[in-house]
Structure 1
């Protein structure tokens, strides 16, 4: 077996990651979540001077999280890393955290569908090490293999046709209109008795640091915005529909279907194979109406698990 060593700290420039780093695990994004309290652990393949595994952990007194404030964090690793190395790396992280006086660790993993092989391996090893699941969310992902109409069921295709006949159209929105899109979606959520998890100031700061990864789009009736989306390219292979909604007075047309077709087409044009429609939950419980809608759009269910271990 090739030689692997485990380290704490920011890797030197001599090492390169043997995997794509997700947006939420980039240092710039970590420091937006918190300017201090971060610890980085990585496993290095010494033969190739590559980083085989990495995890960023935020520590506050006795508590540790990965991530602190983002949709997911957890371990990122090469698909080629031997399972025994990943297992020992998890043990290494735990021992290092114990040395710092930490007594528990929470790990929020990405949706399993992003990388089923990696998820199966990592999550099984977490169970083997005594972690338990404290939150299980149902997500929905559309594989971009063919045109939208071949994914969606008959009812949603009918809504798509009705929206077009009513003169609605999809278009990309420049990042300079982030305020408009955010407040539109917030107003739509308030119509339905909900809110948004992220305030505008934090979203603006994140979008300014990663402008190319934040994709704004909307559906219009003439020049009136009636549905909108804030999507994030979290991986080269994944576009994540972070926030989206439509004006309640247009329920009969379901303009969100036209919006999703637009995002689907964006993925096809930019060769993004996965469109993540997000989780479907209210107050920690499945929102079955929303989940059914996403499945009718051609989505495939996926689990998004959060693990915790106390010691």
Structure 2
């Protein structure tokens, strides 16, 4: 019977999916030209995807968020997934005049099996790799993080511990500004900006109160470091922002912060911590990559695909 593309209903209840592919996240940032497509085969839900026009006749998934693309119902076989991709692309072309479709997908570390199939299917649906980034992630298992860190970071972690530093999860919303301000001061001191304002972070928290986490490392005369993390899925915790307070460089408290986040992830049943990309527009930031790898993170690819219609 083929694939039916619908825009008039909500996704059915299902297992927890990636936050960036949820209707709630889409609703936060949609604009005229945004479309959420529900894909059905033989009357049964098969998957969904959302797109936004970012230029005349150019549609991208996601508009906001670090990745998007197709999310399929559990157990959807690859041949049906391929039909869904083709049907959604045809819908965009015929109903919205799409001449180019761009999809950024999750890093391979999230699921090598899923990412490998997606790569194969996109290639067979006429897509090409438009861009590639290097992404860093840390497997969460029974091995203590100190055994995964390089020697210098183990020394920094132990120094913070000897000095009486503490790791704290902050749960009171009125204290979230303190977490954010540490990150903002860290970025400002290094000549960088923060991609989201505190108000935008709070808007995200109000929609996803169970999926945003705020942490800090206390020590000395105040907060030494902080982090904002996001539950991307039931298995992946994302370090959205982290950094230390200017003046705490001698302690390098992010190593201690990473240890606390790792222990939190173990306790909550995550299997992976994603620390984000270490490149921008395909250009590697070797210093940032080394920083993450010294903490125990390893690299995988994160791809952007595109398809152009003549």
TM-superposed CA distance for 1:12, in Å, is: 5.8
1:292 offset after TM fit, Å? 1.6
Aligned residues of 2:35 and 2:51 also touching (Cα < 8 A): yes
Q: Which sections of structure 1, spanning at least 5 residues, go unmatched?
A: none
Gaps of 5+ in 2: none
Cα 1:10–1:270, aligned 2, differ >3 Å: closer, same or farther?
Answer: farther
SS of corresponding position for 1:269:
helix
Counterparts of 2:188 and 2:280, CA distance in 1: 14
Q: Indicate if the aligned counterparts of 1:74 and 1:107 stay in contact, CA closer than 8 A.
A: yes
Q: CA deviation at 1:214?
A: 0.7
Answer yes or no: is the 8 Å Cα contact 1:72–1:108 preserved in 2.
Answer: yes
Superposed CA offset, 1:55-112 (max 9, x none): 1112364121111111111111245322222222211111111112111111111111
- Compute the TM-score of the two structures, normalised by the length of structure 1: 0.91
Matches of residues 8-87 of structure 1 in structure 2 within 5 Å? 8-11=6-9, 15-17=12-14, 19-46=15-42, 50-59=44-53, 61-78=56-73, 80-87=75-82
Aligned residues: 305
Deviation string 1:186-217 (CA, Å, 9 cap, x unpaired) is: 11011111111122222211111111111000
User: Shift in Å at residue 135 of structure 1?
Assistant: 2.4
- Could you give the per-residue CA deviations for residues 19-58 of structure 1, whole angstroms, max 9, x where no partner exists? 5321111112111112543323333354xx6422221112
1:113 matched to 2:109: yes
Contact 1:6 1:41 in 2 (8 A): no
Q: Name the structure 2 match of 1:293.
A: 291
Q: What corresponds to 2:267 in structure 1?
A: 269
Q: TM-score normalised to the size of structure 2? A: 0.91
The CA distance in 1 between the partners of 2:174 and 2:2, in whole Å, is 46
The answer to whether residue 163 in structure 2 is matched with residue 166 in structure 1 is yes
Distance 2:158 2:44 in 1: 51
Partner of 2:240: 242
- Taking only aligned residues, the RMSD between alpha carbons, in angstroms, comes to 2.1
Comparing 188-197 and 169-178, the one that deviates more? 169-178
Query: Aligned to 1:126, which of 107, 122, 126?
Result: 122
